[in-house]
Structure 1
Amino acid sequence: RGSLSLIVEELQPEGVGELQLAFEQLKAKLEAQGLFAAERKRALPVLPQRLGLVTSPSGAAVRDVLKVLSRWEHLAVLLAPVRVQGKGAEGEIARAVAYLGRSGLVDVVLVVRGGGSLEDLWAFNEEVVARAIAACPVPVISGVGHEVDFTIADFVADVRAATPTQAAEIVVAALEGQQRRVESARDGIAAAFQRKLEHARLRLRGLEGARGLARLPSRLRELEQKLQRLEALPGLLRAVVAARHRRADAAGSRLYHWPVRFGAPRRRELVAVRLAVAGERLRSLLARRTLELGARERALAALSPRNVLERGYSITAREGDPRPVKDAAALNAGERLITTLARGQLRSLVLGRSAGTQGSLFEEPGAGRRAPGTEPQARDGRGRTPEDGEESEA
C-alpha cells in the first residue's frame, strides 16, 4: 500500500463550480453598487398599452407568453427576437432591451426564457445584460427558467416572475384589475346617477302640486266664465218671474170677467186674493234668489286671484320656480324674479335685501295719526259740527 502527497499552490474550479463562483462574485459586485436596491425598483404602469417581449421566437416560452397576453386584446406586443443561449446571446439580449427602452414604443419590457441548466441560462447572468436592464428607462419584468432558478437578471429587474407564463400573468392581472376597478367605478357612477335621477323625479312630482301659478291664466278664464253665467242668472230669473206674473195676471183677468153663471162675486174675490198671495210669493222668491246670487258673486270674487291682482297686489316667484316668494330673507343677490300683475309680468334681478318693516295693509295713509291738539268732533247727519251753526237752505 503506497501513499501520495500533493502540494497545492492554486485551485481553480471548473464546470458548474466555476460558473457558480462567477455568479456569486458578479452578484456581490452589483449588489454593492446598488443595482439590487428596492428603492430603485420602478412600479409597473397602471394601464400598459404596449409591451416589448425579448425572447427566442421559436421557443416554448414565446408561445406561453402570447397565449396569456391574448386575453387582453387591446395590448400591443412588440417582439424583439434574440438567441437566449450560446455564445453571443448575452449581447443580443442587452441590445434588444436597450433598443426597446430607448424607442418609446413600449410601456413595459418582458425578458423571458424557458427552463434549463445553469449553463443554458448563463446568458442572463452576464454583467452586460444586468446593466442593460438596470439602465432601461421603462420597467422590466424577468421570467427566466423555473421557480427554483435565479439569475442576475432576476435580481436587477423591477419585477421577478418565476416563469415566463407568470411574467405574462403579472401584466394581464394588472390590466384586469384596472378593468375591474373601472367597471366598479362605472357601476357606482351609474347607481349614483340613478339615485339622483329618482330623487329629481320625486322632487318633480312634489313640485307638480305647487304649479298652480303656472295654471293661473287658465284658472282665471274658468272663473270668468262662471262669473258671466252667474251675472246672467238674475236676468233669467227676472224673465221667468215676469212671465209667471203675466200668466197670473191673464188668468186673474179671465176669472174676473167670467160670467156670473160661472161663479158668484164671492168666488171672484177669493180668486183675486189667491192671485195676490201667489204674486207676493213670487216676489219674495225673486228677492231671496237675488240675495243668494249676490252672496255667491261676492264669495266668487273673494276667491278670484284676478280680483286680488286688480286691487294692486302682485305675485312674485323665482324664475323657473312657480312657488311664490313669501320672505325676502329667502332671496339671494343675483337671483332673477318674475312678478305677475293684474295685466302682464315683470322680470327683475335681486340686488340686495332691505331690513325695513312693512306697515299694515289695512291702514289708510296717515290713519291713526293726528296733529297735536286735534281731536275728533261729533258731526250730524249732514257732516256739520256744533260750531258750524245752522245754515239756511236755498
Structure 2
Amino acid sequence: MIILLLNPACLLSLFIWVLLVLFPSRWRMSTRWEALNDNDSSNMQLPFLSVIIPARNESTSLPMTLPSWLQQDYPNSEIIIVDDESNDDTVACAKKIAGQSNRSVKIIHGTPKPESWTGKLWALEQGVRIASGEWFLFTDADIYHNQNVWKHLVQTALKEKKDMVSLMALLDTQGKWAELLIPAFIYFFHQLYPFPDACNNKSRTAAAAGGCILVSRRSLEKIGGLAGHSNAWIDDIALAKRLKKAGFPIALYFTQSVISIRPYLLLRDIWHMVARNAFTQLNYSWFALMGTFFGMSVMYVAPVAGVFTFMRNPIISLISLVTLFLMALTYYPTIRFYKQRSWRSLTLPIAGALYLAMTLTSAINHLKGHRHWRGTRNNNV
C-alpha cells in the first residue's frame, strides 16, 4: 500500500520542484540590499530618525549591540530603549553603555501590556508615543548594525520612494543544529514571501523582517498606528500587509550588514522559535495544517523514500534522484549566502522533515493555549 502511494507522491514531488525551478524569485536571493554610495547621495537631506528597541532580559545582548547603534553616522536621530519589564540588569546595562557615549539615549520603563496587545508590540507602541522622528526604525536588542546602516537604509527608502524598508538580519548559524536549520528557515520564509514580489508595488505579496524595519511616520499614522494589529503574533508581516493594502510601497531585502547575535545552539531553541508562530502562519486552520502536512511530506519526504526503491522500481528511484537534485539546486543560493559548504544543500529534506514536526508542535501548543514573548505567556481564549 505504501509503495502504491509512494509512486504518485514522487511524481508529484518532481512536478512541484520543476515548477519552483521555473520561478526563481522564490529561491535565487536576488534582492540583496546594497548601501547607497555616499558620493551618489551626499546631498540628500536626512530626516529625523527615531530608533526604537524593545528589550526584555537583554543584559547579555546589549553589550554587543548597543555600541553598534551608538557608533552610527546619522546626525539627526534618537535612540529609545523600552524596557519590557525585564527581571535582569537590562536597564543598568543600557545606562552604563549609553553613559560612555555622547549620543542621547532614552531608556523608558515599560508598563504592563493591555490585554489586547502582544508584548513586543506594546513595547514598540510606548516608544512610538514619545518618539519625535519623521521615520521610525524598529530593531531588536539582539541585532548588531554595521557602520552607516541607518544612513544608507534611510537613503534607500528616500531614493526608492518606499514608506517601509525592512532588512532580513543575518542569523547566527553556529552549532550543528543552527547550521542545519537556520538557512532552511530563511529558505522557507523566502518561498512563502518572495522578496521581489514584496518589493513590487503591483504584487499583493507583503512581508517584513521584524529585526529591522524602517517605516515613515506618515504611513504608520495613516493606517492607524500599531494599534491596528496590536494582537498580531507575527507583527512584522501584519504591519507590511496593512501598509501595502493602504497603498504604501514597501521593500524587503537580504543583507549581511544587519546581524542577529542570538545563538541557536540547541535544537530546542530553534524548535521553540518556529513552534511559537507556525500555526499562526496557517491562520489556525486545521485544513491548512493538513494541507501543509501533505505538501511537505510530498516535497521533502517522498523523494528520499523514493530513492530507496531502486531494487523494486528503478524509474521512481531515478525520478527521486532528479527531484533531490532540483531541491539542492534551489537551496544552494541560500547555503552560499550563509557561507556554508556546498554539500549542505543536500540536507534540505532533513530540515524540511524537522520543520514539519515543529509545525505540528505549534498546532499542539495552540490547543494547549500557550503563547510566549521573551519569558511571558498568553493563554488563547
Confirm or deny a common fold (TM above 0.5).
no
Place the TM-score, normalised by the shorter chain, in its bin. under 0.3
Q: Which has the higher contact order (CA 8 A, sep 6+)?
A: 2
Higher strand proportion (structure 1 or 2): 2
Q: TM-score, normalised by structure 1?
A: 0.20
Name which one, 1 or 2, has greater alpha-carbon Rg.
Answer: 1
